[in-house]
């Protein structure tokens, strides 16, 4: 099992889950945000090994694929703000590099190839509508546009490749992880309200789906274990109906724990995305329902804050959020 992008927010949790199920895991990551420590806990596990490098490095990818039967692609420059800030790096990593990576998977006798995409591909839909996997895509950012392009490229290989690809459109992640990110909605709101900072919420009635990082590990495990005919060249929204939330609903859930928190609201923010997602397909096909709700994620995070975890976040913000990169320097290391 080779996991591209194992050193981010979701990757270490997926790695731990798959190791626990008996998979041998090779992690591959450039550590663009200097998050090398998040995989250190696996260093003594004989079923784990690590390749440090860029998925755009063809020779390194070729070497890393040796002896591999299954591939999970989590890697990339992740998120709307960071890709907008670094459009050239975004094109090199998320477009050109990812196309080349997919091409290198051909003809190797691989079994499963899981490409992690995003529900952000739906962009902006009308209130009251639910987006299933056949819903028209409306990517609004460089990040989502690249994901849509890669989905199209991968699904267009039907009848041309010897592996079984699956596309997973992930909901927005939440939940405790070795690389805790505080630039994502649930964790950001919870931290600001816990610190008694003034939280300004834009467009409070806009919808998004959310999913705990540990549930993502189980989603990937279900795809790996499913009969090939159930997942090959299939797209799944990855999450659960229970975690379709508006920003207001998230705030209200946090206020149950932190009733004195200060929140203000404003309309017409810079991010217009608004989408509720239908998770019926993954529930029926893979028998997947999330174990963790948004409220569970809030509860565990507040408990961690009370135990003085994450007290040093402001001293190393880039470890805890996708804010700054130096891709040219990183690519030479």
Q: Which CATH number does 2-332 carry? A: 3.40.50.720
Domain coordinates in residue numbering, the chain: 2-332
The one-digit pLDDT tens for each residue of the chain (333 residues) are 999 999 999 999 999 999 999 999 999 999 999 999 999 999 999 999 999 999 999 999 999 999 999 999 999 999 999 999 999 999 999 999 999 999 999 999 999 999 999 999 999 998 789 999 999 999 999 999 999 999 999 999 999 999 999 999 999 999 999 999 999 999 999 999 999 999 999 999 999 999 999 999 999 999 999 999 999 999 999 999 999 999 999 999 999 999 999 999 999 888 888 999 999 999 999 999 999 999 999 999 999 999 999 999 999 999 999 999 989 744 433
pLDDT number for residue 270: 85
Q: Could you give the count of Cα atoms lying within 13 Å of 172 in the half-sphere of its Cβ? A: 30
pLDDT number for residue 126: 84
CB burial of residue 268 (10 Å; 0-12, 13-18, 19+): exposed
CB burial of residue 170 (10 Å; 0-12, 13-18, 19+): buried
Max Cα-Cα span within the chain? 59
pLDDT number for residue 170: 98
Q: Which of 197, 214, 322, 310 is nearest to 254 (CA)?
A: 197
pLDDT number for residue 333: 36
| Token pair listed for 134 | 């056949």
| Token pair listed for 8 | 């981010």
């Amino acid at each position: 099992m080779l996991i591209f992008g194992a050193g981010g927010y979701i990757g270490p949790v997926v790695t731990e889950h798959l190791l626990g199920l008996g998979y041998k895991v090779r992690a591959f990551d450039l550590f663009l945000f200097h998050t090398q420590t998040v995989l250190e806990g696996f260093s003594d596990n004989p079923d784990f090994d690590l390749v440090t490098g860029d998925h755009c490095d063809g020779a390194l990818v070729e070497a890393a694929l040796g002896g591999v039967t299954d591939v999970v692609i989590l890697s990339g420059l992740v998120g709307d703000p960071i890709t907008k800030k670094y459009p050239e790096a975004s094109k090199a990593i998320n477009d050109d590099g990812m196309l080349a990576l997919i091409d290198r998977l051909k003809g190797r006798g691989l079994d499963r190839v899981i490409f992690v995409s995003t529900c952000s591909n739906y962009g902006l839909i009308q209130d009251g509508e639910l987006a299933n996997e056949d819903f028209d895509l409306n990517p609004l950012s460089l990040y989502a546009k690249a994901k849509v392009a890669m989905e199209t490229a991968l699904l267009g290989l039907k009848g041309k490749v010897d592996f079984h690809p699956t596309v997973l459109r992930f909901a927005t992640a939440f939940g405790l992880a070795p690389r805790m990110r505080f630039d994502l909605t649930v964790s950001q709101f919870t931290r600001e309200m816990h610190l008694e900072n003034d939280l300004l919420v834009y467009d409070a009635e806009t919808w998004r789906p959310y999913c705990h990082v540990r549930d993502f590990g189980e989603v990937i495990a279900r795809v790996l274990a499913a009969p090939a005919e159930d997942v090959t060249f299939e797209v799944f929204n990855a999450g659960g109906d229970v975690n379709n939330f508006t920003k207001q609903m998230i705030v209200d859930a946090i206020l149950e724990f932190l009733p004195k928190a200060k929140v203000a609201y404003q309309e017409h923010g810079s991010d217009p995305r608004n989408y509720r997602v239908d998770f019926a397909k993954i529930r029926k096909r893979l028998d997947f329902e999330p174990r963790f709700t948004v409220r569970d994620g809030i509860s565990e995070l507040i408990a961690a804050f009370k135990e003085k975890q994450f007290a040093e976040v402001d001293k190393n913000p880039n470890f805890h959020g996708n804010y700054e990169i130096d891709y040219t320097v990183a690519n030479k290391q």
